[in-house]
Amino acid sequence: IILVIIGMALNTLSLHWSALEPLQNFHLTPDLVLFIFLPALIFESGLNLNAHQLIKDIAPVLMLAIPALLFSTAMIGLGIWWLLPLDLHVALLFGALISATDPVAVISLFKELGTPERLTVLIEGESLLNDATAIVVVGILLGITAITGTSTDIALNAISEFFLVFFGGAFIGLIFGFIISWLMTRFSQETSAILILSLVLAYMSFVISEHILHISGVMAVVACSITLGIFGINRLPQDAVEAIHETWGFIAHICNTLLFLFIGMLVDIDSLLSHSLMILLAVLLVQASRASMVYSLVPLTEKIFKLPHITIGERHIMFWGGLKGGLALAIVLALPLDLPGREIVINLTLGVVLFTLLINAPTIRPLIHYLGLDRLSDEESAELKRSLIDARQNANHLLNRFTHYGLLSTANHHVIKKKTEKTLDLWTPEVICGDEFRQLRLNALRAELNELKELFRSGVLKQYVYLDLLAELRRKQDSIITEHRGNTKPQSTPQANYFLRLEETLVKWLREKDWAAGLLSSYQNKRLSSHLMHNIARILMAEAALEQIKKDSTVDKKTVASLMRPIKIILSFSGSN
């Protein structure tokens, strides 16, 4: 927000100060945004996105990214066409480009305040996908004027082109992501090579998709970054992983800084004031369409797909956090120069972008606080209490050592200890008694997760075993948290996995074929090897969980014993096998 204001100030000063006159010759071109800034920003977001949570919430994310954006395009476009002197196809173009969200300021605030991760994934996931949708829709709308035929033919052509461009980009991104992930494992000890490959992946997937294949470059970058996060990052050394995240974080920070500064420099205040009434109408239409989509489609998606509840407070943030940014400006600047009403559309876009940046963004923090979304959850409170108990023990141990070696007098020892305990007591939250048992289970699962990651890093487990067990641990964690939140409906027995059922069918069919005997023998050996790796990993993970439970000093022995009993049964059963 400050960068936008600085850009506006520089633009105004350049008109009256000769030293800044060269700034008047600067123009933020759409190619600069689309081919330099956009791939970097999308790649960094996709790389850091919680892919596990995104897959669980893919239905509402896709609902907001595709149907919601299309409805928003129609609602805003028709409203603008009715209220302002613009042709229908131009009004629809404005509706499409302004419907995409750019939650950079909101996401950075979420990270600072520690809001629920699910809310972050919903808003950031929607933004990643609706950027691609907006670009595709604008391209289709610009091309529709050149299509001849009946309205039915035009509609069918537009729908088929949308699916081809959108999902074609995702498919190409998946392929590039798998290839570069494999190459990175070949250079796992060369951090510089890994960083160069990640840069190549981000820009190569975008440029090849957009320029050569004429499909969605944004979807290609989204797909390849998420693929790299799931299948590539996990197989790299920890120092390489940290280098990738630090490098891309720095690149995204530079791109965001320049982009918002340039947005401010684009603003012509006199022109905006002359179109202020039109801009106000556009802002009201944009906000109304956003509200209607969030408050209707999100709960509908929950019911259809039987998803965990998205609270009304989270929906308020999803509505008010739908900021507009650089993508809208890049698209509007790329519109043909001879497009009727182009200047009006540019001013409307700038006005709406500025409104969301200067009004919506600064008020998100007090709204989050008012809704209580920045408060600690029960799990976080219990974890904080545990950490403070450990901190108290470590502080006492350090004070005793200093006193023992004569570095601290007994009097000062007591003074410091009293002040330390008083400070820690102020921070210690109240935790409900029943929460301690749940927290103990979550701590045990965390110990299992750390052991699993260590086994994978050390090469004991193959990636498919690691990902399988990782998904199993996350399902257990989700189950514990869901039980606590009151979702105590008896769950139906899960059906056998479709892949397992297909596997059983194929094996039964191959058993009847003589020529498949060798193939089946090789397959059964690999399957047995996989089962052994799973069991070995489970034994070591259970041992790590037991050690964690024994170390926990915050829970009574009876509770510890009740939690250790099933783990010991698993260990004894695995040992006998």
Report angle CA 99, 137, 299 to the nearest 5 degrees: 50
The conformation of residue 25, written as its DSSP 8-state character, comes to G
- In the predicted model, residues of the chain with pLDDT beneath 70 are 145-151, 379, 431-436, 481-504, 507, 510, 514, 552-577
pLDDT tens digits along 298-352: 888 888 877 778 889 989 998 998 889 888 888 888 888 888 899 999 999 999 9
Give the pLDDT confidence score for residue 292 in this predicted structure.
Answer: 93
Give the pLDDT confidence score for residue 572 in this predicted structure.
Answer: 63
Q: Identify the CA nearest to 221 among candidates 65, 464, 34, 59.
A: 34
pTM of the entire predicted model: 0.78
Report angle CA 110, 132, 227 to the nearest 5 degrees: 70
- Specify whether the CB–CB gap between 45 and 106 falls below 8 A: no
> Radius of gyration over alpha carbons of the chain, in Å?
28
Q: Identify the CA nearest to 98 among candidates 328, 266, 277.
A: 328
Angstrom distance (rounded) from CA 173 to CA 224: 4
Give the pLDDT confidence score for residue 553 in this predicted structure.
Answer: 55
Give the pLDDT confidence score for residue 291 in this predicted structure.
Answer: 94
Angstrom distance (rounded) from CA 524 to CA 100: 50
- Specify whether the CB–CB gap between 10 and 96 falls below 8 A: no
Give the pLDDT confidence score for residue 93 in this predicted structure.
Answer: 93
* Residue 189 exposed, middle or buried by CB count within 10 Å (0-12, 13-18, 19+): exposed
pLDDT tens digits along 189-217: 889 999 999 999 999 999 999 989 999 99
Residues 6+ apart with CB under 8 A from 262: 7, 26, 28
- Specify whether the CB–CB gap between 10 and 23 falls below 8 A: yes
Q: Which two tokens stand for residue 174?
A: 């998946």
Angstrom distance (rounded) from CA 393 to CA 381: 19
Angstrom distance (rounded) from CA 49 to CA 61: 13
Give the pLDDT confidence score for residue 424 in this predicted structure.
Answer: 87
- Specify whether the CB–CB gap between 77 and 88 falls below 8 A: yes
Give the pLDDT confidence score for residue 487 in this predicted structure.
Answer: 45
Amino acid identity at 436 = E
pLDDT tens digits along 395-411: 999 999 999 998 889 88
Angstrom distance (rounded) from CA 568 to CA 542: 8
Unique residue bearing structure tokens 């907006």: 134
Angstrom distance (rounded) from CA 435 to CA 378: 7
Residues 6+ apart with CB under 8 A from 60: 122, 297, 298, 301, 302, 305, 307, 310
